Chain A
Amino acid sequence: MFLSEVLGKPVSDALGEKIGTLADLVVTPGAQFPAVTAAVVSLGRGAVQTIQWSQVTITEEGGLRLGFAKDSIKIYQIKDDDLLLKRDVLDKQIVDVHDYRVVRVNDVRLEESESGLFLVGVDTGMRGLLRRLRLEGIADKIARRIKWRPHTHIIAWSDVETFERSEGRIRLRVPIERIAKLHPADIAKIIDELDPAQRQEVFESLDVETAAETLPETDPSVQVSIVESLDEERAADILEEMEPDEAADVLGDLPADRREDILSEMEPEEREDVEELLEYSDETAGGLMTTEFISISPDMTASQVIQHLRKVGPDAETVYYIYVLDSAERLVGVISLRDLIVAPPRKKVESFMVKQVIHVHLGATIQEIAQAMEDYNLLAIPVVDDENRMQGIVTFDDALQKVLPEDWRRRIPKVWSR
């Protein structure tokens, strides 16, 4: 049974006298498939009464019938966290946690059982729309001729997150545990599709680490609007947690005064890294690189390097290449993780490192970087300044992101979207 099939249907008392029409159904969320707990009945002239569901049966014609005469009706008090299916779900946007999408609800699926009426899911398909327009029958007739079937797309209620509206402010009705448990890339996908207010709500409920992993995955314009909406302290906490190059990308798109405010809240060490990166253009190696890479000196032994890796490895962006720098931070060699593992433990790095290191300069364009990485099959490429001092690395995924044609959806301004 669908919500649209019972809304507006007559409600009569035990004696068969019509008392009004069904205006809404109340469920108390919590269970995987929550039960309907009350019916909101419109009595005409704007008056409504909320009746406990236990007194109601659904007749064969689809109407509702009360078990009592109308003067002994048990009134239900709507609680703050109750969900009214028409007011809060029908036609509203919900988050489909299963497919990481934001969709609009065309109809609500209810299932009757001996123990009551249960909310099982929402219909977001074409058929739901046609049903609402009372065009389902006609559409089916046409459909048979042109071999097209309007589809029903039901999302199980256990995969749905709803938003609550209270005077223009959006509040997530339930703690967004289910969203927070998703992969950051999937959270980002959802956030990209939300309205700014909903977006802010979801983002603020993430812990700092998840937020730091989610933010770089969102659309650049979304990143700016999110960071703009955060207070400086929290923004700084999240940015500290991010890779310096990603943090610099986000900060680079902010208005200058806002950027300074956030930077001043950051820990000095992270701030320096980010400030350095901010000076380079987005489109060059300097702008693309991260300053987090693993460096060692030429006189370390293989086993010392492995020990060093154990210490810094967990936080480094990539561990596949270990760069060898002399005392003046000049790039003199590189060893791969494989070279390191197969080397005898006491062997000095300088005796087995590759001395001809493929590198790019700070001003290298993305084409040059991509070309070099492709030619030499590199996962990351070191970036040096004019004195051959190592400044950072550009990783494969950062380069790939720049080379791939931008999804054109992102180039269409969202202003045309509503």
Chain B
Amino acid sequence: MLLVIGPGIITSAADNDAGGITTYSVAGARYGYNMLWAIVLITFVLMIVQEMSARMGAVTQKGLGELIREEFGVSWTLFALIILLIANLATTIAEFAGIAASLEIFGITRYIAVPAAAVAVWFLVVRGNYKTVERVFLALALLYGTYIVSGVLAGPNWRDVGMAIIKPTIPMGRELKDYTFLLIAVIGTTITPWMQFFLQASVVDKGIDIKHYNFQKIDVIVGSILTDVVSFFIIVAAAVTIFHTNAKISEAADLAKALEPLAGSLATAIFAVGLLAASLLAAAVLPLSTAYTFTEAFGFEIGISRKLKEAPAFYGIYTSAILVGAGVALLPGFNPLHAMVWSQAVNGILLPVILFFMLKLINNRDIMGEYVNSKWYNAVVWVTFASLISFSLIVFAATLFPSLVE
């Protein structure tokens, strides 16, 4: 079975992390079925963007960071990677928030849970084995598959669900800002900057070339659909169990309600375990991926066996990312639930930058030859690019000048 499962499915499986589960749950809990239209559209965009990453990897056999460096030089690479760094740090904070939230459900204070997790995650780099990581990602994807069952068992009114997709009602006035912000978070958690780097690297690493690309394309499409089917049902389950019952959500544990139709009284425990595992894994993978992207693009420490002393930049970035993630999660007054949604919004706000670089690279015939983007592909990504920027502008404007939306 593992032969059929390629980088596309793995990347998509990794996509449903602490930030993802929380953001979708909050979307369902606050707006019911209202955001489902976005999930349907995002699925198409996700497929296209992931396909672009995979195609770039297969044609050039190089990572995204390397391509940016070779095409745009040092300054733009630094810019792109700082954007990636900010997005990844935000997500790392979200992962530690997930660790804090899940262990608090079991009554363990975050002042113990977070530092312990940080140490554990740091050592994972030494013991890391990618095969294991892949399997855990897939196992988690199956675990989150329970949301599909829970969503169906919750007994949603399918007519309402259909109507919400075909005829979305976008709240105006004061609600617009919060709605748009959550919309950015939903986009940002589904299509993340780091996934593009991760997927392209996996394709290169697996030695998939353009001759074998058709399988890869299917893999990416299947992965995108699977991950968004889960997202869809998380929203449905949360809508029925939380939104329709007028339940309050003040902390992450409240989101476990969405699993009650399936798991009953075990819902909270299952929710916590899933959240913990996803958070721990992503909290290790993200800083690692960040550190590697930096060291490779800038050529630090290439060609030496990477022992601690010989690779200060690599370990510096890796360690700092964990320290920042864990450190922020320990700040007094830190709210894990808010942090998880916020971090995904940061990803959504920064995504256009990475999309821009991807579009520039993939339409360059010197790099891609005949495999440049088709017109309608470009159109979809440019529309996404423009929408994300306008959404961000709406939120900024509404925050700075509240009178605009009164």
- Say yes or no: is A208 at the interface (Cβ < 8 Å to chain B): no
Among B127-135, B150-158, B176-184, B330-338, which stretch is in contact with chain A?
Answer: B127-135
Among candidates B59, B63, B305, residue contacting A168 with C-beta atoms closer than 8 Å:
B59
A414 / chain B contacts, CB cutoff of 8 Å:
201, 205
A106 in contact with B74 given A99-B303, A167-B369, A168-B60 (CB within 8 Å)? yes
Asked if residues B60 and A418 are in contact (CB atoms below 8 Å), the reply is no
A413 in contact with B205 given A104-B302, A106-B299 (CB within 8 Å)? yes
Tell me the smallest distance from the CB of A98 to a CB of chain B, in Å.
12
CA distance A129 to B305 in the complex (A): 22
CA distance A41 to B175 in the complex (A): 55
- Say yes or no: is B360 at the interface (Cβ < 8 Å to chain A): no
**Interface residues of A, CB < 8 Å — how many?**
40
Asked if residues A124 and B299 are in contact (CB atoms below 8 Å), the reply is yes
Tell me the smallest distance from the CB of A243 to a CB of chain B, in Å.
25
A195 in contact with B204 given A129-B74, A413-B129 (CB within 8 Å)? yes
A91 / chain B contacts, CB cutoff of 8 Å:
69-70, 73-74
- Say yes or no: is B78 at the interface (Cβ < 8 Å to chain A): yes
Asked if residues A168 and B201 are in contact (CB atoms below 8 Å), the reply is no
- Say yes or no: is A411 at the interface (Cβ < 8 Å to chain B): yes
CA distance A90 to B289 in the complex (A): 25
A129 / chain B contacts, CB cutoff of 8 Å:
74, 298
- Say yes or no: is B197 at the interface (Cβ < 8 Å to chain A): yes
Task: List B residues 37-82 near A (Cβ within 8 Å).
Answer: 59-66, 69-70, 73-75, 78
Asked if residues A132 and B74 are in contact (CB atoms below 8 Å), the reply is yes
**Interface residues of B, CB < 8 Å — how many?**
51
Which secondary structure characterizes the binding site on chain A?
A: mixed
Which secondary structure characterizes the binding site on chain B?
A: helix
CA distance A106 to B368 in the complex (A): 24
CA distance A407 to B310 in the complex (A): 14
Asked if residues B303 and A101 are in contact (CB atoms below 8 Å), the reply is yes
- Say yes or no: is A92 at the interface (Cβ < 8 Å to chain B): yes
- Say yes or no: is B367 at the interface (Cβ < 8 Å to chain A): yes
Tell me the smallest distance from the CB of A153 to a CB of chain B, in Å.
10
Asked if residues B298 and A195 are in contact (CB atoms below 8 Å), the reply is no
CA distance A417 to B66 in the complex (A): 11
Tell me the smallest distance from the CB of A110 to a CB of chain B, in Å.
18
Asked if residues A102 and B204 are in contact (CB atoms below 8 Å), the reply is no
Among candidates A103, A197, A228, residue contacting B61 with C-beta atoms closer than 8 Å:
A197
Tell me the smallest distance from the CB of A405 to a CB of chain B, in Å.
11
- Say yes or no: is B200 at the interface (Cβ < 8 Å to chain A): yes
- Say yes or no: is B366 at the interface (Cβ < 8 Å to chain A): yes
Q: Which chain B residue has the least Cβ–Cβ distance from A221?
A: B205
- Say yes or no: is B104 at the interface (Cβ < 8 Å to chain A): no
- Say yes or no: is A408 at the interface (Cβ < 8 Å to chain B): yes
A416 in contact with B289 given A90-B73, A92-B70, A197-B61 (CB within 8 Å)? yes
Q: Which chain A residue has the least Cβ–Cβ distance from B369?
A: A167
Q: Which chain A residue has the least Cβ–Cβ distance from B289?
A: A416
- Say yes or no: is A133 at the interface (Cβ < 8 Å to chain B): yes
- The interface of chain B, by Cβ under 8 A from chain A, is 7, 59-66, 69-70, 73-75, 78, 125-126, 128-130, 133, 197-198, 200-202, 204-207, 209-210, 285, 288-289, 292-293, 296, 298-299, 302-303, 305-306, 365-371
